[in-house]
Structure formats: C-alpha cells, structure tokens
Amino acid sequence: MRKRKNKNNVDDKAEIDLTPMLDVVFIMLIFFIVTASFLNESTIPLNQPDVSPHSITDKPSSLVINIDATDQVKIENRRVDIRSIRALVSQFLAENPGASTLIRAHEQASTEKYVAVANQIRQVSGSQYLLVTYRE
C-alpha cells in the first residue's frame, strides 16, 4: 500500500529533547560545588595607634581649616581671609614641624572656595593637606 501525502497535515519536525542534558549539567554543578575547597583568605594585620589619654600631646598635630556651608573660612573658630591662609599655615608649620594641614569643608561649600584655600596651602613649601567633607 502506498502512503498518501496529505497536504493538510503539517510535517512533524524532529526536535531535540534537552532535559537529559540539563540533568547532567546540574549534576556536574552540584559535584563541583561539593568538591570545591573554600580557602580562608588571610588579611594583613593593621597596626592601629594607641588612643590612650597619655598619648595626646599639648600641641596640635594638624591645623584645621573649616569651610562652612556659607563659604566662610575659619581657623580655630576665627574667621580669616583667604589671602592670610598662607601666612597662618607657614607660621603653624614653623612652630610645629612635621604637622599637617586639614581642610574640613561642608558638603554645600563651593568648589571655588576649596580650590582657593588649597592653592594658598600649596604655596607654602613642603606643605601637604587633607580634605575632609562633612554634613550637619
């Protein structure tokens, strides 16, 4: 007997069943997770300074220059002009060799004011500074 081809029937296409392959992949994944050795990473120990009251000296180790939200520059709660910062930093570093300068700027302080203060500090030979921002 002859098979008749029916034009209304759609030819069935061969499909690959991926279920066994997925089973094998998951079994391999579980095998590698179970057999993996997890290492405890060693860290570098930190040498933290002693913060006892006896270690605090009478002289300040850094000069703090505050820039508030209204762009006012203050040193030791005293308002100063930007042009006098270079002289004040020079005087402080002469009295306290090895001391540093800290610029404490409010988040809303303008960048121009910070740059102006930093430029005055940079003009002092060998002077380094650190910027710290704060919120109220």
* 5, pLDDT greater than 70: no
What was the pLDDT predicted at 58?
A: 55
Tokens of 79: 């308002």
Q: Rounded mean pLDDT of 24-53?
A: 79
Is residue 10 predicted with pLDDT exceeding 70? no
| Residue 121 to residue 101: CA distance in whole angstroms | 8
Instruction: Note the maximum CA span of the chain.
Output: 115
pLDDT in tens, 61-103: 788 999 998 989 999 889 999 889 899 988 988 888 878 888 8
The pTM of this model reads 0.54
Other C-beta atoms lying within 10 Å of the C-beta of residue 102? 16
